[in-house]
Structures are given as C-alpha cells and as structure tokens.
Amino acid sequence: MKPSFEPGGKLSAFQSVFDGFETFLFVPNTTSKTGTHIHDSIDSKRVMSMVVLALIPALLFGMYNVGYQHYLAIGTLPSVSFGEIFGFGFLAVLPKVIVSYLVGLGIEFVVAQWKHEEIQEGYLVSGMLIPLILPVECPLWIMSIAIAFAVIFAKEVFGGTGRNIFNVALITRAFLFFAYPSQMSGDGVWVKTGSVFGIGEGQLVDGFSGATPLGQLMTTSSGTAHLTGITGNALSTSDMLIGLIPGSIGETSVIAIALGAILLLATGIASWKIMASVFVGGSLTALMFNAIGTSPSMLLPWYEHMLLGGFAFGAVFMATDPVTSARTENGKYIFGLLLGFMAVVIRVLNPGYPEGMMLAILLLNLFAPLIDYVVVQKNITRRLNRAKVTNDKK
Amino acid sequence: MCSMANLIRIGKGLDIKLKGKAIETLSQVGHSDLCALTVSDFHGLTPKVIARPGDKVKAGSVLLCDKNRQEVKFVSPVSGTVVAVNRGDKRKVLDVLVKADSANEFESFAKIDLSKASGEEVKTLLLNAGMWPFIKQRPYDLIANPQEAPKAIFISTFDTAPLAADFEFVLKGQEADFQTALNALAHIAPVHLGVHENAQSSALKNASNVTIHTFAGKHPTGNVGVQIHHVSPINKGEIVWVVNPQDLIIMGRLFNKGVTDFSRIVALTGSEVVKTGYVKIQAGSLITPLFKSNVTKGKALRYISGNVLTGTQVTPESYLNFYANQLTVIPEGTEKHEMFGWIMPRLNQFSINHSYFSWLLPKKEYVLDARIKGGQRALIMSNELDKVFPFDIFPEILLKAIITNNIDQMEALGIYEVAPEDFALCEFVDTSKTEIQKIVREGLDMLFKEMN
C-alpha cells in the first residue's frame, strides 16, 4: 500500500496525509544516517500529546461549567443530574473542538502536501487551545475564519511549526476580538442561554446577568467592586478558584489549570521559570495597583487578579509555548515578569480591554527575540573580554 | 616538573547506560593478510600518493602525504607489498592496501635523546614516522598544522562515552611508553592531562612533565573539548592540540624503540556482541575476525567504529579505523513497528524526558537500536540541548548561526572551542531530531575554508 503514495505512485498527491496517519499509528523506523546512532525516545508527537493531555482537565471542567451556568441561568439547576449538566456542556463544546481540528488540520495537511513535507504536530495543541479560550456562544463559522487566518498568516507563511513569532491560538482570538467584537465581548456571550441540539430549553431567570467578573469591574463606577455570579450571588475567592463562574470555556477553573500545570512541569515540557515569573510579575503589579487604589480595577485584590479571566490559563499554557517565548534561561525570567506586568497594567488601566492577558502575551511574543538577544550579547561580551584579558597578558 | 591536581566538577551531561560493556579480558587477533590506510579516517585530508602498487614497503614506509602540507606523512603499519591504491569518483583516493609479509621489516628512524631534544626535533620525528596524524587541533577538529604553535596540548585520559574502553586497562604494561610520549610533547608546548577523579593508575595520577587536572561528572566530561573549556578556553586566534591517550602510547614506542608499532587495543562492545572484550590488533587490519560467530544472528545489525554517539558506521568487511579505540554493535531496528509511541509508556525505552519512566531507574542498562524514533522538525523545545552541553556557550544559538552561515555570529558565540563530538549528546536528546553533528562539521569546514 505504501508505494502507491511514494512520488510517482498513483496516490502520491496524498503522501503527506498517508505519512501523517502512518506516523500516528507507528513510531517511524527509519534509522540514523549521520551523527549519533542512537536517539532519545522523545519526539515532537510525544511532547504535543503531553500538552493536549494537560489541557484535558480544563476541557472537561469547561464542559461541565457550560452546562452548570446554563441550568443556573434557566433556574433548573437543582433538578438536573450531573450527567445532564455535563452532557449539555459536552454537546455545546464538542462541535467547537471538532471544527477547530478540521479547519486547522485541513489547512496544515494541504500546506504540508504542497511543500512535500511531513505534517507537523504543532496544531494538535493549538487546535485544543482555541476552543478553550473562546466564549461558548462564539459562532462556529466565525471561529473557522479566524483559525484559517491564524494558521495561514501567523504560522504557515513563517515556515510552519517551530518558526512562528506569535502564539497561533492567541492570534485566532485576537482576530476574533478585533474583527467580531460583539461576538467576543459584552454580557451576552459567556453563558449558553439557548438550547443545544434540542436539550436544555428554558427561560432565563430574573436578575440574570451574563457578565464575567472582569466585565463587572468595567461597569463599576467607583469603590471596591462587588463581584457576583450570573444570578447575583456574591463571589468568593474559592468560587474563583473552583471556577463555576462565567468566562471563556477553559479558563475559569484555576484548579483544573493547575492539574495541567503539574503534568507539564513534571514532564519538563513547560518552563517553570516562565510560569512562576508571570505570576510573580502579575502579583507585584497588582499589589502596586492595590496600593495606589484609585479605581475599582486597581482595588481588585492582587490574588483575585491571578484567579480571574485568562491569567492562569495564559500563564500555564500560552506564555510557556517554547517557540514563541524567550529561549534563553535568564531571558525567561525577564519575559515572564514583563508579561505578568503588562497583563495587569492592560487590565487595570484600560477600561476597553478587561482581558489583558491575550494582548500581553502577543506583545511579549514580539519582544522575546529582543530579550534573548540581550542575554546572548552578555555571553558574547564575556567571551570577547576573556580574549582581551588573555591578549593583554601576553 | 610540578604536577598540580585540582578537582573540576562538570555539572551538565548525561550517562547513557547500555548493555554490552567490554569484559576486561585481552586477546590477540592473528595477523591480518591485508592492511589498509583509509583516507576518510582523516577528515579534511587531500592526499598525495607516494607509494605505487607493487612497491615493497616496510613498517613505517610512507604511503601518502598531505597534498597541502607535504611534511605530514602517512605510513604503512606493516611490512609487505602495496597491492592497490583504490580510487573513487573523480579519481579521489579512497585507500591504500598493503599485503603483509612475514618478514616484518621496520624503517629505522634516528633515535633522539628526549632529555636534550628540541620541539622541532620531536616534531620532525613524528612527521617522518607517520605519527603526526595522531595530533589533532582545536579549532576546526582537523589534523594539527605542524607550522603553527599551539598554546597547549591537552589529553583526556578517560572516556565517558557509552561503553567506552577503559584506558587504564589498555595502559597496563605500557606506562613507560605513555610517559615517554608526554616527555616528548612537553618539548613542544605545555601538556595538560585530564584525569578522572577515580583514576587508579599512578602513571596517570603522578605523571610528570604535565599539569594534571582532575575531573568528575557525567558524559561528556571525558571529551577533551570540555576539559579545555574548563581549564583554558580557546580564544579567537589560539590553537590547542589534542591527542588520544592510546595514540600517545604508540608515539612513546617510537621514541623508546626507534621503530613504528601501530598495533592497538580495541574494545569490542555492544548488546549484539556475544563475547565482549579487549583485542590487540594491528592498525588498518580487517575487522572481520572480531565479529565472526561473535554477533547475534537473525536481525539487522549496525556495526560502529567508535561509540554510539560519535562513531562511524562500518561493515564486518571494513578495515580498522586509524584512531579506533572501540567497536560497537547494536541492533539496526528496521524490523520494529511500535504502535502509538506518542502515548504508550514504552517502559524499555530510554529517555531523559519525564514523560517516559526511564528516569526512575537510573542504573538500568538498555538495548538501544539505530532508529531515529521521530520525524525531523524545526527546533521547538528550548533548554533541551543546554542540559547536556557543559560549555559557557549557547548550543542552540550557535547551531542556528552555523545553519545560516553567519560567520561573525559563529565566531562571537564560540565556534572555535567546539568539535562535532561535543554536540553528540545534544543530537541524542534533541526532540526535533536535527542532524546536529553533521551541521557542526560542515560549519567548521566552511569556516576553515573562509579563514585559510
């Protein structure tokens, strides 16, 4: 079967697709031709699989939360079972995941075949990230346009996996945010109020407000904001930790994100330096704003900044993307600190963007090469000085 | 001369434990009928053929010389008749084959008194006796240029590569030759000896006419490049010469006896060798008898001259490499069809990554085959290569500078200090399966051409 896919064979136009499925099923058994004769068993597929695995807790919780917020909004939460809640969310979120992979991988297959290269695994992760950073009411066709834009213009034109400057999932979100703002922000997009495949019909309760906690900060005129859930009940810090609050599908539960973070850190795939620096930078900046305290945004306690919005999700899954973040070890600290700083600054000082994390990450993606350049220059200067010292001694 | 000992601990690196370590037994291989001097053993050499087919030669007679530096000579290890000068495409010389005779005649070289000799006299003797190719240089990792003066000569007396031969076993009984060579080289430039923390032999720990540095750490601590970097890093414009310790013994024989004796001890290692051990064999001999009835049957095998990280692939019909200290045989692996490798636990596989479980059993020995186990990708993961690269150099950034042929950046980042073998572990752990050693070799060659 394989020879018909080789160049010259009948199905050679589909060689990349065939290779993709073959390497999905089997570890490639080509042997080394130059250099080392043995290789570590790690490969790009394994790394990407681990990241997708780390996203599963956030995905599963996100599905449950979509169902939870829905039944809470129509007032029938006490009378539905766990299975119904999860099933509703599952049916609401699954189409997004499927369409994300179909569109993204479809484009990647075509481009890989056109370049006569293997299909690379970068989109396996982006494809899972994209649904998790979108509000549940985002229409599928808009998401597809944004994915096509991001995969082609933010990834493939640069050369594909490993060569992009900006985080592909965030470019998708940024495209959506700026091109279709009414579908991406405001009070109406974070909770699935309608039914899904005919399940979950109901009327919204009185006093329903679909605003996320960060959105509520925007509308508070002065003093400390009193953040509430969708039915008006006050939110405590533990509510923010557990995540049964409105928001993008995967970003609400810090505990689910933390489970993913533990897997990523234990396998060494994500850099603890970046994760820690982002939280430290964000906390210090939020503390500074708490001290200044002249607007409701500034008065939001610093630890709640870490728990609300996309801060934790971005810090764990997107700031740590090795391709788009700083690559030198010392650069990672600077990268993370600046990222945390910018995320909180954008959130607090600009009322138009309650979500500063996305923009902060994209901005730091742009600066990562510069940060690395500075670190590398120090190394180069050290070498030059060493040569100078030796020459002076002669 | 004084010999200071100072312990240098190398923090980064990786020891790969494989099955098939050489048992400490020494056997002799019978005289090989045919001996070859293979040009590809000497990277960068453009040879000029001196001997013709049919010429009668003695051990030590010149067969080839370096076209660009005619004082660098390559000699026959045995006495006999030149059978053939094999050429390949475009009449490129591949090797010179000598059929050994039973006469065992040696070219005689004027013995020099090492207590009074000058550096030039030592050099001339080594050049004429065909021993100069044992001396290589950093930068560029080529045979040393005898007309340039190095700032030092470095020797690493221990090899930390997987299944490497134990030099102290090889050294037994030949300590006098070893010290003689050190005395000779000390006339040319200061000699630095890298000794392992657990070294036993007093010929190493108390060697004279050298500065001794003690090292401890995982592979590649035994690489001479790592040792140079931690003692006296090479700046632009400086040259360091390096010699493999067993080659020193061969040089010492020349100074002590006045004739060339290129016979060497080679370790037979690897999971597919039935009886591992050490073998004394004449340079350039056929390696076939070493493997006859001594390797596992029934599967494709990979024969390697050298270790699994930096060695070259050979066949059982190949001739022994000029610099060989070790031969390794591992499974080729082409018959394996592992399913779903990206999610299976793969408990018999070795990986430094914690998404596998080999890190839980640090003492386990593995059978690794020659599969690459992944497709080649762009460099994705960061800080992967750095963990096994104990230099104050950014390996990934230097690699990218080499790929983009950016000479200024290569120089600025420290290319003069490295050789492809220093990147071997980087290539092993690389998730993206980049052909790192090949890239570094081509980069060094390109730089050499530009600078000379």
Q: Is B262 helix (H, G, I), strand (E, B) or coil?
A: coil
Burial zone of A118 (CB within 10 Å; 0-12 exposed, 13-18 middle, 19+ buried)? middle
Q: Is A301 an interface residue toward B (CB < 8 Å)? A: no
What span, in angstroms and rounded, lies between the C-alpha atoms of A188 and A211?
7
Same-domain pairing of B147 and B202: yes
Asked if residue B397 belongs to a domain, the reply is yes
Q: In terms of residue numbers, what domain contains B71?
A: 33-100
Distance from CA of A65 to the nearest CA of B (A): 28
Contact B341 A45 (CB under 8 A): yes
User: What whole-number distance in Å separates Cα of residue A100 and Cα of residue B1?
Assistant: 73
Q: What is the pLDDT of residue A252?
A: 92
CA quadruple A234, A236, A242, A247: dihedral, nearest 10: 50
Contact B9/A at CB under 8 A: no
Whether A50 and chain B come into contact, CB under 8 Å, resolves to: yes
Residues β-bridged to residue B75: B62
- Stated pTM of the model: 0.93
B163 touches chain A (CB under 8 A): no
DSSP E strands, B197-300:
211-217, 240-243, 264-269, 277-281
- Least CB–CB distance from A26: residue in B237, B337, B438: B337
Q: State how beta strands B152-156 and B191-196 pair.
A: parallel
The conformation of residue A324, written as its DSSP 8-state character, comes to T
Q: Is the pLDDT of residue B1 over 60?
A: no
In whole angstroms, what separates CA B90 from the centre of its chain? 29
Q: Does B430 contact chain A (CB < 8 Å)?
A: yes
Instruction: Answer whether residue B160 is part of any domain.
Output: yes
User: B433 in contact with A at a CB cutoff of 8 Å?
Assistant: yes
**CA separation (Å) from A144 to A138, A310, A350?**
11, 21, 29
Name which of A15, A18, A22, A37 to mutate to probe chain B: the one with the most chain B Cβ atoms within 10 A of its Cβ.
Answer: A37
Would you call A66 helix, strand, or coil by DSSP? helix
Q: Are residues B115 and B244 in the same domain?
A: yes
Q: What whole-number distance in Å separates Cα of residue B280 and Cα of residue B29?
A: 6
Do B144 and B235 reside in the same domain of the chain? yes
Q: Which residues contact A394 (CB under 8 A, 6 or more apart)?
A: none
- A328 to chain B, any CB pair closer than 8 A? The answer is yes
Q: How far is CA A73 from the centre of its chain?
A: 27
pLDDT band of B2, cuts 50, 70, 90: very low
A379 vs B: CB within 8 A: yes
Does position A334 have pLDDT exceeding 60, yes or no?
yes
Q: Tell me, yes or no, whether B281 lies in a domain.
A: no
CA-based diameter of chain A, in Å?
88
Q: Which chain B residue is nearest to residue A30, measuring alpha carbons?
A: B371
Average pLDDT (A348-372) is 89
Q: Which among A25, A40, A379 has CB closest to B429? A: A40
Q: Which residues contact B226 (CB under 8 A, 6 or more apart)?
A: B10, B220, B390, B391, B422
Give the model's confidence band at A352: pLDDT under 50 very low, under 70 low, under 90 confident, else very high.
low
Whether residue A156 is predicted with pLDDT greater than 60 in this model: the reply is yes
CATH number at residue B81: 2.40.50.100
In this complex, the residue of B333, B355, B397 whose CB is nearest that of residue A46 is B355
Partner residue opposite B433 with nearest CB, options A29, A43, A390: A43
Instruction: Tell me the pLDDT of chain B averaged across its residues.
Output: 93
pLDDT in tens, A222-268: 778 888 888 888 888 898 899 999 999 999 999 999 999 999 999 99
B140 and B45 in a common domain: no
Closest chain B CA to residue A161: B378
Contacts with B, A 5-44, CB within 8 Å: 23-32, 34-44
Residues B184, B239, single domain; the answer is yes
Do residues B130 and B225 share a domain? Answer: yes
- Token pair 């699994």 is at which residue? B308
Mean pLDDT of B177-188: 95
pLDDT at A21: 84
| Token pair in block for residue A370 | 């510069």
d(C-alpha A361, C-alpha A170), whole Å = 8
- As a whole number, mean pLDDT of residues A95-121 equals 91
B80, B170: one domain: no
Give mean pLDDT, residues A334-340: 97
- B98-126 as b/e, with b when 16 or more CB fall inside 10 Å? bebeeeebbbebeebebeebeeebbbbbb
Residue B360: inside a domain, yes or no?
Answer: no
Contact A38 B304 (CB under 8 A): no
- Residue A173 sits at φ, ψ, to 5 deg, of -65, -40
Final residue of a structural domain among B81, B100, B119: B100
What's the full length of chain A, in residues?
394
The tally of domains found in chain B comes to 3
Residues B49 and B140 in one domain: no
Q: Of chain B residues 67-96, which have a CB less than 8 A from chain A?
A: none
- Nearest-Cα residue of chain B relative to residue A386: B235
Chain A stretch 242-271, residues whose beta carbon is closer than 8 A to a beta carbon of chain B:
266-269, 271
User: CA nearest A342: which of A292, A295, A278, A297?
Assistant: A278
Report whether pLDDT(B336) > 70: yes
Does residue B264 sit within a domain?
no
Q: Is B335 exposed, middle or buried (0-12, 13-18, 19+ CB in 10 A)?
A: exposed
In this structure, the answer to whether residues B143 and B247 fall within a common structural domain is: yes
When pLDDT is cut at 50, 70 and 90, the band that residue A8 belongs to is confident
Same-domain check for residues B178 and B123: yes
Residues B210, B118 share a domain: yes
Q: Binning pLDDT at 50, 70 and 90, where does residue A166 land? A: very high
CA triplet A187, A192, A195: central angle to 5 degrees?
140
How far, in Å, CA of A149 to CA of A104, rounded?
10
Q: How far is A337 from chain B (nearest CA, A)?
A: 18
- Asked if pLDDT for residue A209 goes beyond 70, the answer is yes
Residues of chain B in contact with residue A120, where contact means CB-CB under 8 angstroms, are 375, 377-378
Flag whether residue A327 sits within 8 Å of chain B, measured between CB atoms.
yes
Contacts of A38 in chain B (CB under 8 A): 16, 162, 308-309, 330, 368-370, 428
- Same domain for B234 and B114: yes
Q: Which of B234, B257, B280 is the last residue of a domain?
A: B257
**pLDDT tens digit sequence for B420-434:** 999 999 999 999 999
**B376 contacts in chain A (CB < 8 Å):** 118
* Rounded Cα gap, residues B171 and B162, in angstroms: 20
Chain B closest-CA separation from residue A214 CA (Å): 34
Q: Chain A to chain B, count of Cβ pairs less than 8 Å apart?
A: 206
> Among A291, A293, A279, which Cα is nearest to A344's?
A279
